[in-house]
Every structure is written in C-alpha cells, then in structure tokens.
Amino acid sequence: MQIPPFSLDEQISEIGDQIEEALIKVFRSGKYIGGEEVASFEEAFALAIQTSYSVSCNSGTDALILALRSLNIGEDDEVITSSFSFFATAEAITSVGARPVFVDIDPENYLMDLGLIEKAITPRTKAILPVHLFGHPIDMDKLMAIAQENNLKVIEDCAQATGSNWRGKPLGSYGNVGCFSFFPTKNLGAAGDAGAVTTNDFDLAKTIKELSIHGMPKRYLHTNIGYNSRLDSLQAAILNVKLTRLNKWIEQRKEIAINYINKLSMIEGIKLPSNTLINNSGHSWNQFVIRIMDNSFVQNIKITSEDISDNQNRDIFKSELQRRGVSTIIYYPIPIHLQPAYKDLGYKEGSLPITEKICNEVISLPIFPELKAIQQSYVIDKIKEIYEK
C-alpha cells in the first residue's frame, strides 16, 4: 500500500462535479474580479469565525502583511512570535519593516511559551503574533490578558487552524485580527493561493480591504501604498462549496487523530500529542505530529533517507516508513531563527533550545479527512513493525 501524507483524490471525486459547476458559472459570466462569489464567501467566512468582518485576499502570507499594515506596524516596531512555524509568519513581519522577536515554545504543545512573552517585551513591542500551529489552539484567555496588560495588539496566525476553537470560540475571533490561509493543504483549501483576515473592528476591515486593492478606497483615488491582493472569484467559488463541509472534515480529522493516539500510545520512544487534547479540544488537526525521541531501536538499521539531521532516529524512522510505502513530512526541520535569511537578526544555535530540540524530533503522520480506516491501520501497523525490530 502507498499512503501519501495528504491527498485530494477522494475529495475531488466526491465534490468535483459541484465545484466544476460553480467554476463554469463564474468563467462564463466573464467577471473574474470581485463579484457575488467573493462577497458571499466573505460573509459566510465571517459567520463561520464569528467575527463581524472577513476580508479575503491572495494568500495567508498576504493576510498577515495586510493585518500588520492595518495596525500601523512597521519600521522600528517589534512583534513577538514563535520561531517554530512556517517561514511566512516571520517573513510577513519583516516585510512590513518590523522585527520579529522570537520566544521559545512550550514542549508540551509546541506553541509560544506564554510565560516568556512578558520578558520579551521592550518599549518597541507593538504586537504579539501567536501561531496556532498544526491546528492546536494557544490559550487565548491568557494571551489576551497579557496583551491587554501591556497594551499590545494581537494578530492570530490561524493559517493551520481554520475551524479550530479555544473554549468553543473560533480562533481568529480573539485577537484584533485573525489571519487565514486557504493553501490547498490547509483545513479549508482553495485550488491555488488564497487567504482572509477576520476582525470585529470596522475601521480595520475597511483599511485591510483598501490595502488589498492598491490602497484605493474608490476608483483611482489612492490613500495608501497597498498591494494587489484580491481573492480570485474562481477561488471564492471553490471556497463557497467547500466551506459548508469544513465542520465535517474537522470531525473526520479528529477521529483520525484520536485513533492514532489510542493505537500508538504503547510505543516507547514516540511522544504523542498531549493527552489533554483528546476530549473536547478545539484542535482541528491540520497536522498529526509525533516526536521520535532518542532511543536505540534503530541501532542496526542503515540510513537510506536523504535528509540526515541531528536526530538519526527520526531520519531512520522516516526512511523505514517510506520503504514500507508511508510518506511523511517534517514540519519544520529548521526553526525560523536559524534560517540563513535571518542570520542578521542575531540569533544563534542555542538561542531557543526547546524550539531547536523539537525541530529535530518532529515528524507528521498522514492525516486528511478522507484517509480511510484501512490506510490508517496500515500506517499504524508499519510503525509498530519498525519498533518491534
């Protein structure tokens, strides 16, 4: 059996006809910018996230940039965030002229360690940018309390957390703004790049909308230097079809995650996502991430994998699974603060010890709503087989 880390095959055969119909309608209308589909997606997405407004844009990266710009964050400002994320989180901060300040993560949930935020605050700090990594909600009650006490803005990076919630309230509805990505592998995926910003603040929503269309509140009047970052009508048509299924897909992801947790809990040497998540968590399981701890199960196995990191156990685990037909991905092998592009920020190896350690241990198992029970059983059996050696 061959198991991919992610696949749209099933989904395309399930709802492909409906999506094609919606696409043809837009295509034949000859109107590809804005229009009905974009407006109705924005309305429906705001409703889903329980915010007053949602402004669509070109990507999750642009969502972050537009959000930062709308809050007037730029030159000389600092934004506190996590180095254990996709590069775009920090890239957005840098591209508006501000400086990302990384705090280490909590080894239990891989999210920003909330206890470290206040120590990272300086007179230049303007905002906190939490990342709900893998779909796991950060404690938004605590985070908002810290922000309020220190008069900081909050920009939620919900790129991997569409459909997640904290205590029943959707992520992206807590901060000043929530930033979403509809990259194809995210919980709600377009057929290309797409994103959105959510907010309850009318003025922010208006500014974000204007910035996404060349800083242009009305035709050919430009009050700001903005971007060309609209959501395509064709992508909006796809998202409108898919959004109605989001909750069902999250439920399917949850079932898969719980099954992995139940079936893999006996294996020593694998660290599973924390147990507190099993019941009623607001986790949407965009990724199912385990850690391959230091142990000796691999002593006699030769590495066939190309990616050789500081954790040979993980490399071998990955290549042994691959050999058995199970593909996995490492999110993320190098923390942002150690990326060559950020060498001038002044971080070095050892700056964020927990982030660095966890980057060396994590590996993501196949998870997507349509992953079949027999496919998942196969993955689980192969993992057990590797550990039985």
Ligand X SMILES: *Cc1c(COP(=O)(O)O)cnc(C)c1O
Question: What are the residues binding ligand X (CB under 6 A)?
Answer: 59-61, 85-86, 88-89, 131, 157, 159-160, 181, 183, 193, 195
Nearest residue (CB) to ligand X, 153 versus 382: 153
Q: How near is the Cβ of 84 to ligand X at its closest, in Å?
A: 10
Q: How near is the Cβ of 211 to ligand X at its closest, in Å?
A: 16
Q: Which two tokens stand for residue 317?
A: 């685990």
Nearest residue (CB) to ligand X, 86 versus 347: 86
Cα angle value 234/184/322 (rounded, 5°): 155
Q: How near is the Cβ of 289 to ligand X at its closest, in Å?
A: 13
Nearest residue (CB) to ligand X, 235 versus 375: 235
Distances (CA, A) of 331 to 8, 68, 160, 270: 20, 25, 12, 16
In one-letter notation, the amino acid at residue 337 is H
Q: How near is the Cβ of 221 to ligand X at its closest, in Å?
A: 29
Chain residue whose CB lies nearest ligand X: 60
Phi, psi for 363 (deg, rounded to 5): -155, 140
Cα angle value 134/173/112 (rounded, 5°): 40
Nearest residue (CB) to ligand X, 183 versus 285: 183
Q: How near is the Cβ of 61 to ligand X at its closest, in Å?
A: 3
Nearest residue (CB) to ligand X, 235 versus 281: 235
Residue with tokens 């190896």: 349
Nearest residue (CB) to ligand X, 156 versus 320: 156
Cα angle value 363/368/371 (rounded, 5°): 105
Nearest residue (CB) to ligand X, 60 versus 369: 60
| C-alpha span between 186 and 117 (Å, rounded) | 28
Q: How near is the Cβ of 159 to ligand X at its closest, in Å?
A: 3
| C-alpha span between 278 and 35 (Å, rounded) | 42
Q: Which two tokens stand for residue 36?
A: 């009905």
Are 135 and 285 a contacting pair, CB within 8 Å?
Answer: yes
Residue 126's H or E segment, with its range, is strand 125-129
| C-alpha span between 73 and 128 (Å, rounded) | 11
Nearest residue (CB) to ligand X, 298 versus 330: 330
Radius of gyration of the chain from Cα atoms? 21
Are 83 and 255 a contacting pair, CB within 8 Å?
Answer: no
Are 273 and 287 a contacting pair, CB within 8 Å?
Answer: no
Q: How near is the Cβ of 292 to ligand X at its closest, in Å?
A: 22
Q: Which two tokens stand for residue 9?
A: 């095959």
Q: How near is the Cβ of 129 to ligand X at its closest, in Å?
A: 10
Cis, peptide link before residue 347, omega less than 30° from 0: no
